[in-house]
Amino acid sequence: MTFIALGLLLLAISGEPLFIIIGGMAFANFYFVIDIAPATLFTDFYRLTTMPIFVAIPLFIFSGYLLADTRLPEKMLRLTNALVGWLPGGLCFVALIACSIFTAFTGASAITIVGIGTLLYPVFQKDGYPENFTLGLITTGGSLGTLLMPCLPLILYGVIAGQQKGVSLNVEDMFIAGLLPAILLIALLYAYAFFFGIKYSPLKKFSFAEVAAATWEIKWELPLPVLVVGGILTGLFSAPEAAAVAAIYVLVVEWFVIRDLNFRKLISIIRRSMIMNGAILMIVGMALGLTDVFVTLSVPEKLFEFLGQYITSKYTFLLLLNGFLLMVGALMDIFSACAIVVPIVVPIALKYGVDPVHLGIIFLANLELGFLTPPVGMSLFISSLKFNKSLPTIVRSILPFIALLLIGVLLITYIPALSLYLLEFTDKPAIIDPSSLL
């Protein structure tokens, strides 16, 4: 096992795909430690592919890639600018709202920085905003939509956490629970940007004519969030059904109505989206196998016994959890973190009485910062390449925004109602089955 562990470590250092490392750990433990046929791992893949909710992942990925390859970013900016651009600091508000919505549907901060950031950067420069502030706002805005439905990390957490013993959770719960925390984070950043907006952004008059023109330009894409978000909130659609509706609607509108697509572009979009889906499938499938190892070896229980010697308070545990997740976010991308860390953290958190849905929002709010923290912060590298700035320059520009997001994370952590209040109005609240923990 020592030689195998060293071999896997060398593979990780050499840049081998994450699913190979996770799968290698699972296979080695099955064969050498648990004495179970390693082929058991493939039953986890079968279980994963038969989950109805998992159908939503490739469909939402496909929809996001379709939207990213159209003129939607430009249309969205025009509409949000017409609606809220007249407010003090309206341009900053436009940036935050547009970035959040675009990330929620594409599931990737990198696409948002490239798609929305490219359009916003020259506008901020024209209005005379400090370059550091502009870079920080756009780079940070790329990650804000992580808690907004139907963003992919919400689905992944729901799928993986829902497989843990004692958890009764569905992805629709996660979609609803993320709304208020997402609004809180946007409000905190806007409160900071407001003062820059007063100084640098000239006040604009509200124009009904511009709102009408911008709405008409985006008239075919505008029903999409209403269909997806409204359908899920009202119970009209489940998450997989909403994903199917989104994929079909976007494809029909962009190909046959707006005609922003052609056959060559569609093939490219299908290829890129399915490569992403395949990568997620491999990571999550291998992670479920590793979860079986953790359960069989009672890893969460042993960790809880160890922590219980020093930590008896739920609130102290949550503070420690925040610190741990911030380190995880700095070293691991959000998809990998969901696959590896959730199976360990969820059983321990349940024993401390943390609601699994609240835990999920804490988890993702912390990992949202992972987009912005070196050495793995993807948004930092994308922003550095896109705007041709050094990495230290980008890091300095986001420091005030990271401080505000940290305040937001603490509020989300210690005020559970932010995550759970809206669930009181649904007929499927998230629950913990106490008997299953005995």
pLDDT at site 418? 92
pLDDT at site 6? 67
Distance CA 248, CA 265 (A): 16
pLDDT at site 409? 92
431: part of which helix (H) or strand (E)?
strand 431-432
Neighbours of 49 (CB within 10 A): 11
- 25 touches 290 (CB < 8 A): yes
pLDDT at site 415? 92
pLDDT at site 7? 65
Q: Cis peptide before 88, with omega less than 30 degrees from 0?
A: no
Beta bridge partners of 43: none
Residue 262, SS3 per DSSP: coil
pTM as predicted: 0.81
The closest alpha carbon to 161, from 242, 269, 51, 247, belongs to: 51
Residue keyed to tokens 């545990």 = 317
Distance CA 132, CA 83 (A): 26
**CA within 13 Å, CB half, 203:** 5
Distance CA 298, CA 285 (A): 20
Mean pLDDT by 10 residues, the chain (438 residues): 61 64 74 70 71 78 82 82 80 85 76 77 82 87 83 84 74 88 92 82 80 88 83 79 87 86 86 82 76 72 75 86 83 76 85 89 87 75 81 86 92 92 67 40
